Amino acid sequence: MKLSQRIQAMQESPVRKLVPIATKAKSLGKKVYHLNIGQPDIETPDVFMNAINEYDSRIIKYSFSQGEPTLIKSIQNYFKRDDIHFEDNEILITNGGSEAVTFATIATCDPGDEILVPEPFYTNYNGFTGEVNATIKPITTYAENGFRLPNKQAIEALITPKTKAILFSNPGNPTGTVLTDEEMHMLADIAIEHNLFIISDEVYHGMAFDELESKSMGTIPGIEEHLIIIESVSKRYSACGARIGAIASKNTALMLNILKLCQARLCVATLEQIGASALYELPESYTQEIKQEYETRRNIVYDTLNQIDGIVCEKPQGAFYVIIKLPVPDAEQFVVWLLEEFDVNNETIMLAPAEGFYATAGLGKDEVRLAYVLNSEDMKTAMNILKLGLEAYPERLI
């Protein structure tokens, strides 16, 4: 039996593919600090389960294909905080931000079409686009200048007749970069001038540090027909397993057609939508507290990295990730070595090799993504393990 070329060409997750090695390390008695995956350790707010427990139906019925009205209303209220106004038919609830990006890709691209994406990028963008035979065309950015976007001319040079959209996360996964006003307006201008969609992944919206502001692309006037916003409760509200996301756009034709995709998969889980509605109604002070906690963890990570010779790392500005260029020839081999051969008091760490976060062959081979999703004391311990591990690594270059 022959499998499809599409499924065989899909990338294995660089975040999860080394899990069997970590599992083996744990079976041998090692404690592994997981810095490889964006799973926050902050407790999901009580309002989520409280809302579910108060649900008074004795039958868990199908929800509406477009989503529960209460959740849509809560998301509308959330956007209004930034003076962004969406009508009921301009928001569709999805199975996480993942399905939202997939649906946006299906709606904007035919097989063989291209989406411009700043690299390094959230590695699952490869899966979301590849499964519908769209192609990522990278806008390469570099650790040495803080992963800032190149100028307008450099981006425009990548546009072909097959280019249909620009996709990015802001604040950025995996870089922690927050787009400047100038970068956001540049992308908006490119989209308008070349008639492209903007798929703005805003699942880390509000999580910017050092008094920076992570603005929504929805605040930029004149791009309404071009803009698709991706939302999710996963990261901001520490509810990754709820799998509740959303697409928001004022492009009526786009939303009517994405609704067909929502109808084809029937609906999103009813109870999780009820819980998510309560999360979106949390006051802005909740996000501020969470942001401050992650900023503390960021500082622990960055202060330790500054003590290690040979590291190239710009200070991350938001989300809870950082890309680190290591003084090693192969970051994946280093990650495996940490799990199999190194420990400090029988404890070690797991990182995500960054090569899989790039579309350009050869880039990221000496880089890792680190997610600072553990409490401060655990982050201090984990960063000390990284420091000592690099000092002891026999293949270290510097």
Return the closest-CA partner of residue 196 out of 217, 182, 170, 215: 217
CA distances from 167 to 142, 159, 176, 192, 229 (A): 18, 13, 16, 15, 10
Which domains are assigned to the chain?
A: 5-43+285-392 (3.90.1150.10), 46-282 (3.40.640.10)
CA 91 distance to own-chain centroid: 20
CA 164 distance to own-chain centroid: 21
Q: What's the token pair of residue 88?
A: 């009921």
* Predicted confidence pLDDT, tens digits, the chain (398 residues): 988 888 887 777 766 778 999 999 999 999 999 999 999 999 999 999 999 999 988 899 999 999 999 999 999 999 999 999 999 999 999 999 999 999 999 999 999 999 999 999 999 999 899 889 999 999 999 988 999 999 999 999 999 999 999 999 999 999 999 999 999 999 999 999 999 999 999 999 999 999 998 999 999 999 999 999 999 999 999 999 999 999 999 999 999 999 999 999 999 999 999 999 999 999 999 999 999 999 999 999 999 999 999 999 989 999 999 999 999 999 999 999 999 999 999 999 999 999 999 999 999 999 999 999 999 999 999 999 999 999 999 999 97
- pLDDT at residue 6, as a whole number: 81
How far apart CA 215 and CA 184 sit, in angstroms, is 9
Question: How does DSSP assign 23-83, residue by residue?
Answer: HHHHHTT-EEEE-SS----SPPPHHHHHHHHT---SS-----TT--HHHHHHHHHHHHTTT
Cβ-based burial of 272 (10 A; exposed 0-12, middle 13-18, buried ≥19): buried
User: pTM for this structure?
Assistant: 0.96
For strands 367-371 and 352-353, give the pairing: antiparallel
